[in-house]
Structure 1
């Protein structure tokens, strides 16, 4: 796990047909596009995938399709609402060939006690037969991960979309959840980065990954500036903007999103 799970992870989107159903053809073509451009790790059913708008059976289908059509490492996000549904999604990760499973803290209610979050994570981690990754995104979950939570919950890595670099020393492997701030955290000891905009220009981010692996510090610092400028155009558009950009790259890729998101 420590050798394979380092570097770039792409949180893949969920394409929807005009009918509102998942467009399986577009999803598979996108996976092939990512693979062709050097992507070796993906996250399925994460925030970028609009997990909050997917039925549980749709999240299961996404994971099944990804495992059939992507040969690299797959992180399955257990994105259900409530411990019981999340436990079910951890079991899917075990059974359907995911290489790791990630979970947010409870996303409702906010302001939970550390003890409650620890108990929740421990239940999920105990059910996981693959490496268990904690996911910190207090902006949306309403419950921030803390050093005490990280110390109390056995886990393989942390995906930190809050970019709280103080947490780096409290986790075995730290992944910065950012498309714009990659170079500095890696220099400080982060194991990798999770970049949503790599869905659109995977070759750029794969090149950045290789520069970091090869310790080409000067070139990586320059490429960080290019990535920061490129990512800036998506800073306000979010998932709808990413889908529209992919539609310009992949003919036939649908740019539809589910309510409450809007194009």
Structure 2
């Protein structure tokens, strides 16, 4: 297996063209910029609009990144799906590509499913992909899936598949839950990534592995500075600066807001496009987001086409 992926990762925004098809060249350019600012690529996460992207599109985009020379060892593709065979196909494809890990949602259509059912889903993925399966990171986002990744489920999966189950992304927003994951399992080599950089200063001293955060898409350098500098005298200032940027985007329209900022900074209005059922940000909200970022002298250094 490749080295474990740690640090700051972006659930990479997916650009679409006027026909609402994934825009491969914009995608590659954005990923390359993120890598250049020390961010890993959690492609096909929630903020990638992954639930609106087909398995074939995800695999084609992964192949395009590899063909463009981007390193598989810095990728953690999202491979979860409601249909088990689709999750297996995505996981097998990313594993063969050499991905550092797989970020795997539980099946999320049926609600109130048993822990045995969720365990069986992950077990079937691992068994069917086989000995070449990349490390799996469990994706806990119960506010959307209504299928939680419980501590007992983690314990069971680690007991059965200690070489494959490598960690979790905790998108619950509940620090007590993130801390419990770290406290219970970090000693067993289970890497926990909170979904917000705002938890970095609390998570890293107790064994957190980094973060997989939406706003890494727009502020990779600032968030990486928090990860690198949490032990130093500047840590509180770095954390406060990252938190200020995040608060601009926090809310129900996070994806269109980030895409609007990319459209503004790159001078490329096509970046604002989202796939239905999402809709683009209205002008008043978009203007407010840009104004708030300008007021804090926010800068996306070196972004392709940046002003």
2:152 maps to 148
* Equivalence for 2:184: 170
Distance in 2, Cα, partners of 1:79 & 1:18: 27
* TM superposition shift of 1:77: 0.8
CA distance in 2, matches of 1:38, 1:251: 24
Shift of 1:157: 0.9
Unmatched 5+ stretches in structure 2? 281-307
Give TM-score scaled by structure 2 length.
0.79
Does 1:247 pair with 2:257?
A: no
Among 199, 203, 207, the alignment partner of 1:189 is: 207
Corresponding residue for residue 245 of structure 2: 230
Give the Cα–Cα distance (whole angstroms) in 2 for the partners of residues 141 and 66 of structure 1. 28
| Displacement over 6 Å in runs of 4+ | none
Give 5+ residue unaligned stretches, structure 1: none
TM-score by length of 1: 0.92
Q: Secondary structure at the match of 2:81?
A: coil
Give 3-state SS (helix, strand or coil) of 1:254's partner. Answer: helix
State the alpha-carbon separation in 2 of the partners of residues 257 and 130 from structure 1. 30
Query: What CA deviation, in whole Å up to 9, does each residue of 1:182-220 have, x standing for no partner?
Result: 2112122211111211111222112222213xx32x322
Give the SS at the match of 2:82: coil
1:136, 1:144 within 8 Å by CA — same for their partners in 2? yes
RMSD in angstroms over aligned alpha carbons?
1.8
Deviation at 1:36, TM superposition (A): 2.4
1:59 aligns with 2:58: yes
Judging by fraction of residues, say which structure has more helix. Answer: 2
For residues 182 and 55 of structure 2, the distance between their equivalents in structure 1, rounded to whole angstroms, comes to 32
Would you say 1:207 and 2:225 are equivalent positions? yes
1:47-86 deviation digits (Å, cap 9, x = unpaired): 1111111121111112112333422510011133211110
Quote how far apart the aligned CAs of 1:251 are: 3.2
Please tell me whether the aligned partners of residues 20 and 275 of structure 2 are also in contact (alpha carbons under 8 angstroms). Answer: yes
Which whole-Å CA distance do the structure 2 matches of 1:247 and 1:110 have between them? Answer: 37
Aligned to 1:138: 142
More displaced 10-residue stretch of structure 1: 251-260 or 130-139: 251-260
Higher mean alpha-carbon deviation, 56-65 vs 119-128, is at 119-128
| Correspondence for 1:18 | 18
2:170 maps to what in 1? 160
